[in-house]
Amino acid sequence: MKPLIFHNPNCGTSRNTLAIIKASGEQPEVVEYLKNPPSRDELVALLAKMNILPRELLRSKEAINDELSLDNPELSDDHIVDAMMAHPILINRPIVVTDKGAALCRPSERVFELLENPVSSFTKEDGETIYHDNSQ
């Protein structure tokens, strides 16, 4: 399967993750999820593939998070998913899906474990060089 990335081009982590995928020789399917958000069923399926709870995917840095009081621990998973569907900016990114699995790639080097032939090193936009241990 072709790698799939739920991407926000305004996010440095997302841009770095996409660049790592491409530097590794892959041409991923790129979904700009703010323009084309996943359906509720797709989002729930992604959460299951990543084996995380909706709250773990919630981008709490967004102002709308505070406006909706989403930090309230009594809110149900369904409530959190409903908020993400209504406000896709609340979906943390980038999410990458490959034959090896799915993950929220924060930090961007998490994508290494999802790629068939990851590059051994990559220099991020900020100049930091990250390395992949190819012995895995």
Residues annotated as catalytic (active site), given as ranges: 11
Q: Which of 134, 103, 126, 120 is nearest to 23 (CA)?
A: 120
- CA–CA gap between residue 131 and residue 121 (Å, rounded): 4
Of 133, 92, 101, 96, nearest in space to 22 by CA: 96
Q: Return all residues near 61 (Cβ < 8 A) that are at least 6 apart.
A: none
The sheet that has 101-104: what strands, in order across it? 29-32, 4-7, 95-98, 101-104
Tell me the helix, strand and coil percentages in the chain, rounded to 5. 40, 20, 45
